[in-house]
A = this chain, B = another copy of it.
Amino acid sequence: MSDTTSHPNPRLNTEVVSDALLGKWKRERLESRALVADPRLQTINGQTMDDHRERVLGQLGILVEEGAIQRAFPSDLGGSDNHGGNIAAFQELVLADPSMQIKSGVQWGLFGAAILHLGTRPHHEQWLPDVMSLKLPGAFAMTEIGHGSDVASVGTTATYDPETEEFEIHTPFTGAWKEFLGNAALHGQAAVVFAQLITQDVNHGVHAFFVPIRTPDGTLLPGVGSEDDGVKGGLNGIDNGRLHFTHVRIPRTNLLNRYGDVAPDGTYSSPIESPGRRFFTMIGTLVQGRVSLDGSAVKAMMAALTIAIRYGSERRQFPGASGRETVLMDYGLHQRRLIPRLAETYAMAFASERLLTVFDEVFSGAKDTDENREDLETLAAAFKPLSTWAALDTLQEAREATGGAGFIAKNRLVGLRADLDIYVTFEGDNNVLLQLVGKRLLTDYAQQFAGGDKAALAKAAASQLGDRVSRFGLRQLGQSIADLGQMARSVESLRSPEAQRALLADRVETMVAEIAQALREGTKHVPKGDKRGYAQASEDAFNAQQHKLIQAARAHAELLQWEAFTDGIEQITDPGSRQVLTWLRDLFGFELIERHAAWYLVQGRISGQRATAVTAYIDRLIGRLSDHALDLVDAFGLTPEMLRAEIATGIEAERQDEAHAYVEAAKAAGTWPVHEKELRKRAQEAQRREAAAQRAS
């Protein structure tokens, strides 16, 4: 079906679209939504940190009872080996209480998942049942005060002693203390500790160890210290804290030994020979957290927009020409503030579902290849930054668009924003993740010229054109810029999905080519053999391109989101829904082009006239979509119990009706006082009439 087919007065079928958004793990999502609607699992605003922590611990117990957290674990241990469904259900929990969500993520998605994915069968049998039942709460001790993004450089050591067949876990300086760990300040009885594995005087790099830290009654074990991180900007229901270890001894078998093991005599072995690849394989299990946060962020955006658009469709302010006060959503600016966010939310929702699908394929083992794992990691590193940032922006825009009411905790927006703030830097700092994507793009770009044909690389980079076809991390972008130039010149074709895609893809390709060229040129002057000089020049050149590389990665993510949105629409057969969603997708695409218009203009990809047309078309799309804004948020399917925002319940319409009825009744009864302004106008008119009458007489 062509996107340009138009339907007279199309309407969104909210059930159809709601279903599409629920996606493949609809059942799990609905099960989780039932929990979100359960008051026992919901935030109580204004609780003290201590009370909130206690409540959240209790909520984790409820999740266990309700069978909400077992899905990802092995079937024979009480789980159901359902990785995609597990994450889908987890994402929904954000609307109950993000503290509960993230603490459950710490317990089962990090601590438990590390035992599952980095440990082996004996570990699973020994610990997972208690982890799943919450009998054994645990921390995920990876980050240190001194090392966050750079996990490979952590300072904690695990030194093997063949005499006793033990590892000695040690944090030799303050910077090596484990930091920001949920369950560390109070509830954790064990931790998966990431430390440099040292045996026979060789450091084999970072490995994970199971380390008991507290007795069940909460007493710290000998050699283990803990500090409380105290009050945070959000997520105060989680007992984040520090852990330090002073020569703490654990059995040799507490090494989670799936990717590296130490024999009783101290001999190290690993199924992965390269220490680098071994490290990245172990760290790769963290991708689960990123996939989880991505979808959670989208959920928060849905809630924010549902609240703001419902309120904005009822709220009136300033008298309009119609005689009544104008509804906020009828203001051009209000539409400009909220409707592009709606487009972005849909794009990210479809993108998130796609990411989850790839995740499930890999983690279920259905398509667990190195290449797919790498693609999964790149996709997660591309989507998680954009969606978590967009969530903060959208929550803030919704907060501002609902004015003072948005600032009151019972309307949800401020609490969600405070809690989600940390999502942009944890489970991978957003900028560091985008840099990862950027590096992947550069690698893929270079691979086109595999075989070391550096001249070809340089030439392609310099010319920045041609029919290049690259994988660019996840798929072929192939669209020749020559074609593109023709399209951008024709008036109508800019609206075709092909043209949108080509413009978005071209930007990624060209930016990557330019960065590759700049990196090469940055090291050209270094004399051959000067390794140190080359390293420094290479670092400097990269540093100079870092900002641009992040932009390229972002452009890549935007393209993939646009594609996911487009693919998502393809799955929908209802013509009205397709039409409205196609407008929304166009708005998403055109907003991206408008946002990056300077780049397109400088590169000569679009003309100034065309750029102006883009803005005009955006205005038209927004005007058209404003009639569908309520349907589009209804399709998110968020019930009142999930939203729990007073201003999204229709209360404003009731108040408007009450006020309107009061005024109308007073007018009808003749008790509505005339305004001084009106009297003055009448007096002036009378004067004019009199003067006219005098002139006439």
Given known A-B contacts A203-B675, A234-B414, A332 and B173 have beta carbons under 8 A apart: no
Contact residue among B45, B173, B176 (Cβ-Cβ distance under 8 Å from A231): B45
Q: Is A535 an interface residue (CB 8 A)?
A: yes
Q: Is A285 an interface residue (CB 8 A)?
A: no
Residue-wise, chain A 663-696 has the 8 Å CB interface mask toward B (1 for contact) of: 0000000000111110110000000000000000
How close is A433's CB to chain B, nearest CB, in angstroms?
12
Query: Are A408 and B232 in touch, CB under 8 angstroms?
Result: yes
Contact residue among B229, B321, B543, B604 (Cβ-Cβ distance under 8 Å from A539): B321
How close is A565's CB to chain B, nearest CB, in angstroms?
24
Q: How many Å lie between the Cα of A622 and that of B330 in the bound state?
A: 42
Contact residue among B143, B146, B654 (Cβ-Cβ distance under 8 Å from A659): B146
The residues of B that contact A421 with a CB separation of less than 8 Å are 396, 399, 407, 414
Given known A-B contacts A321-B539, A602-B611, A175 and B659 have beta carbons under 8 A apart: yes
How close is A53's CB to chain B, nearest CB, in angstroms?
11
How close is A408's CB to chain B, nearest CB, in angstroms?
6
Nearest CB in chain B to that of A278: its residue: B676
The residues of B that contact A175 with a CB separation of less than 8 Å are 655-656, 658-659
Q: How many Å lie between the Cα of A148 and that of B448 in the bound state?
A: 59
Q: Is A361 an interface residue (CB 8 A)?
A: no
Q: How many Å lie between the Cα of A659 and that of B46 in the bound state?
A: 40
Q: How many Å lie between the Cα of A196 and that of B396 in the bound state?
A: 34
Query: Are A400 and B414 in touch, CB under 8 angstroms?
Result: no
Q: Is A490 an interface residue (CB 8 A)?
A: no
Q: What is the count of identical protomers in the complex? A: 2
Nearest CB in chain B to that of A604: its residue: B608
The residues of B that contact A611 with a CB separation of less than 8 Å are 598, 601-602
Q: Is A588 an interface residue (CB 8 A)?
A: no
The residues of B that contact A407 with a CB separation of less than 8 Å are 180, 232-234, 421-422, 425
**Interface magnitude class on chain A:** 35 or more
The residues of B that contact A602 with a CB separation of less than 8 Å are 597, 601, 608, 611-612
Q: Is A493 an interface residue (CB 8 A)?
A: no
Q: Is A403 an interface residue (CB 8 A)?
A: yes
Residue-wise, chain A 307-328 has the 8 Å CB interface mask toward B (1 for contact) of: 0000000000111111001000
Q: How many Å lie between the Cα of A145 and that of B547 in the bound state?
A: 45
Contact residue among B231, B417, B538, B673 (Cβ-Cβ distance under 8 Å from A203): B673
How close is A648's CB to chain B, nearest CB, in angstroms?
16
Q: Is A591 an interface residue (CB 8 A)?
A: no
Which of A284-313 touch B at CB < 8 Å?
Answer: none
How close is A609's CB to chain B, nearest CB, in angstroms?
8
Query: Are A418 and B233 in touch, CB under 8 angstroms?
Result: yes
Which of A408-423 touch B at CB < 8 Å?
Answer: 408-410, 413-415, 417-418, 421-422
Given known A-B contacts A232-B409, A673-B203, A404 and B392 have beta carbons under 8 A apart: no
Q: How many Å lie between the Cα of A225 and that of B168 in the bound state?
A: 66
Q: How many Å lie between the Cα of A136 and that of B509 in the bound state?
A: 67
Q: Is A366 an interface residue (CB 8 A)?
A: no
Q: Is A546 an interface residue (CB 8 A)?
A: yes
Q: How many Å lie between the Cα of A203 and that of B666 in the bound state?
A: 14
Query: Are A415 and B233 in touch, CB under 8 angstroms?
Result: yes
How close is A241's CB to chain B, nearest CB, in angstroms?
11
Query: Are A655 and B173 in touch, CB under 8 angstroms?
Result: yes
The residues of B that contact A655 with a CB separation of less than 8 Å are 145-146, 173-175
Query: Are B409 and A674 in touch, CB under 8 angstroms?
Result: no
How close is A195's CB to chain B, nearest CB, in angstroms?
12
Q: How many Å lie between the Cα of A46 and that of B399 in the bound state?
A: 23
Residue-wise, chain A 413-455 has the 8 Å CB interface mask toward B (1 for contact) of: 1110110011011100111000100000000000000000000
Q: How many Å lie between the Cα of A659 and that of B171 in the bound state?
A: 11
Q: Which of A45, A143, A333, A422 has the most CB of B within 10 A?
A: A333
The residues of B that contact A413 with a CB separation of less than 8 Å are 233
Query: Are A550 and B674 in touch, CB under 8 angstroms?
Result: no
Can you list 21 A-B contacts with CB-CB less than 8 angstroms, sorted by A residue number? Answer: A45-B230, A46-B49, A46-B230, A149-B403, A150-B325, A173-B655, A173-B662, A174-B659, A196-B673, A204-B676, A320-B539, A332-B544, A332-B546, A333-B546, A333-B547, A396-B421, A399-B421, A406-B425, A407-B421, A407-B425, A601-B611
Given A150-B318, A233-B408, 19 more A-B residue pairs with CB atoms under 8 Å apart are: A45-B231, A46-B231, A145-B655, A153-B325, A173-B655, A173-B659, A174-B659, A175-B655, A203-B675, A231-B408, A233-B414, A332-B546, A400-B424, A400-B430, A403-B425, A404-B425, A404-B426, A601-B611, A602-B612
The 8 tightest CB contacts between A and B, nearest first, are A233-B414, A597-B598, A231-B409, A46-B231, A321-B535, A602-B608, A332-B546, A601-B601
Interface residues of A (CB under 8 A from B): 45-46, 48-49, 143, 145-150, 153, 155, 172-176, 179-180, 196, 198, 201-205, 229-234, 236, 268, 275-276, 317-322, 325, 330-333, 336, 392, 396, 399-400, 403-404, 406-410, 413-415, 417-418, 421-422, 424-426, 429-431, 435, 532, 535-536, 538-539, 543-547, 550, 594, 597-598, 601-604, 608, 611-612, 619, 654-656, 658-659, 662, 673-677, 679-680
